[in-house]
Amino acid sequence: MQRFKIIGLAAVAVMAMSAILASSASAVNVVLRDPAGIIPAGTVTTAESTNLTTVTAAGNLECEHNVLPATLSNNNAAKVTASAKEELSFGSYLGIEGACKTSAAGPAVIETNDFPWPVEYKYSGTLKTGEVFVKGNPLGTKKVEFTSTFLALEGPKNKCTFTASKILSKFPAGPAGKPVPLVFTTTNQIFKLNKKAPGTAAICPPEGKLSGEWTASDANGVISVEL
């Protein structure tokens, strides 16, 4: 009996050590740099996309510019964090200042809601990829939310409000000493229609899939990332 107890304890120890090693293998520090060096906490970084598109069964929504400024909370860590107090989606569709393009209902004005949005940069050693998570306000709705107001539809029911628990994007990273520009890609992130939102139009589809590419910069120039 004693022999079996010893074998059992040894097995537990081996499993615990394996878990620790696996966790260590996947925890890789992410370091954000700009032309001046490692970016300090408190710096405002800006992610910008010029091709972000929401594809729905009722047509596509496209803005010429999507801008997400965020204040960096920390850097050079397994989880680099920041906080975004706004997100701007705008264009000049049909010459209308600020309007984005929809293929079903003409020009639309986009409003994002319920800030701040936490932003996290991670690198998974097991997946061999970097991941950016934009999440909803933890003290609010806990949702990333945007509302499209269709200028060609008569109000008050001329809006579609879409929500998601987070937006996941992926980025490549360079090895230590060889940073690469921080470019992250969003692919088919699903947003669900909030049917209870005020002014919901009859044309609103049940969901949309968000895709596009983002580049990052700060006041010193292009941001790069290394491990």
Residue 3 is assigned to a structural domain of this protein = no
- Tens of pLDDT, residues 141-164: 999 999 999 999 998 999 999 999
User: What are the pLDDT digits (tens) for 41-53?
Assistant: 999 999 999 999 9
Cα-atom radius of gyration of the chain, to the nearest Å? 22
Residue 120 lies in a domain: yes
16 pLDDT higher than 80 = no
Query: Each residue of 167-223: pLDDT tens digit?
Result: 999 999 999 999 999 999 999 999 999 999 999 999 999 999 999 999 999 999 999
* Cβ 151 vs Cβ 107: under 8 Å: yes
Please tell me the distance from the alpha carbon of residue 83 to that of residue 55, in angstroms, as a whole number.
27
User: Which residue from 179, 183, 184, 204 is spatially nearest to 192, judged by alpha carbons?
Assistant: 204
DSSP string of 110-163, one letter each residue = EEEES--EEEEEEEETTTTEEEEEEE--TTTTSSEEEEEEETTS-SSS-EEEEE
What was the pLDDT predicted at 125? 85
Is residue 60 predicted with pLDDT exceeding 80? Answer: yes
Please state, in angstroms and as integers, the Cα–Cα distance from residue 7 to each residue in 14, 21, 32, 150, following that order: 11, 21, 46, 69
Give a yes or no: residue 141 inside a domain. yes
Backbone angles phi, psi at 192, to 5 degrees: -100, 145
Q: Is residue 171 part of a domain?
A: yes
Q: In this predicted model, what pLDDT tens digit does every residue of 73-89 receive, in sequence order?
A: 999 999 999 999 999 99
Q: What pLDDT does residue 203 have?
A: 93
Q: What is the pLDDT of residues 97-134, one digit of tens each?
A: 999 999 988 999 999 999 999 999 999 888 889 999 99
Would you call 225 helix, strand, or coil by DSSP?
strand
Residue 1 lies in a domain: no
Whole-angstrom Cα distance, residue 10 to residue 171? 40
pLDDT exceeds cutoff 80 at 17 = no
Cα(146)–Cα(123) distance, integer angstroms: 28
pLDDT band at residue 26 using 50, 70 and 90 as cut-offs: low
Q: Between these two residues, 210 and 5, which has the higher pLDDT value?
A: 210
How many whole angstroms separate alpha carbon 34 and alpha carbon 43?
Answer: 11
Put residue 142 in one of left, alpha, beta given phi > 0 → left and psi -120 to 50 → alpha. left
Assess contact for 227 and 206: CB atoms under 8 A.
no
**Rounded Cα–Cα distance for residues 215 and 197 (Å):** 32
Residue 134 lies in a domain: yes
Total domain count for the chain?
Answer: 1
* Residue 54 scores a pLDDT above 90: yes
What local confidence, expressed as pLDDT, does residue 127 receive?
Answer: 81
* Enclosing domain of residue 70: 29-226
> Is the predicted pLDDT of residue 34 greater than 60, yes or no?
yes
Task: Establish if 12 belongs to a structural domain.
Answer: no
Instruction: Pick 164 or 17 by higher pLDDT.
Output: 164
Is 20 inside a domain boundary? no
